[in-house]
Structure 1
């Protein structure tokens, strides 16, 4: 079962997400979900904060 989780972004960031998603012919929702899953998988695989900051 899925549920909604909100993330608050300022207007310029929301626009950047919208434009990036559009450039891939995808929705903002798809783009944000992929980004969260990308980082979640890395943390679950053992990535540290230092690893994340150096990517």
Structure 2
């Protein structure tokens, strides 16, 4: 269920939203909702990636297991070739 929310925009931004709405044949309301939805989705993905990164770092701190950048680059350089290497194994 949608509920009303007020939003204060400076005149310049409000004008830009209105101009875009006219060009896109949408309402200013639609443009703002779409912008907020896209922003929230992008930031949720960014936060999930940040959490995954922190979890991976914590796991590395405990286990010490890793793969070097050179090992990854060597592996990736073989992708799509007849001599494609298997995924490098983690080591200490």
TM superposition outliers: structure 1 runs of 4+ over 3 Å: none
- Unpaired segments ≥5 residues, structure 2: 48-92
1:16 aligns with 2:16: yes
| 2:35 match | 35
Inter-partner Cα distance in structure 1 for 2:37 and 2:7: 14
TM-score (norm 1): 0.75
Inter-partner Cα distance in structure 2 for 1:43 and 1:16: 23
Number of residue pairs aligned between Structure 1 and Structure 2: 47
| 1:51 match | none
Inter-partner Cα distance in structure 1 for 2:41 and 2:24: 22
RMSD, matched Cα? 1.2
- Unpaired segments ≥5 residues, structure 1: 49-55
TM-score (norm 2): 0.47
- Deviation of residue 21 (structure 1)? 1.0
For the pair shown, the structure with the greater C-alpha radius of gyration is 2
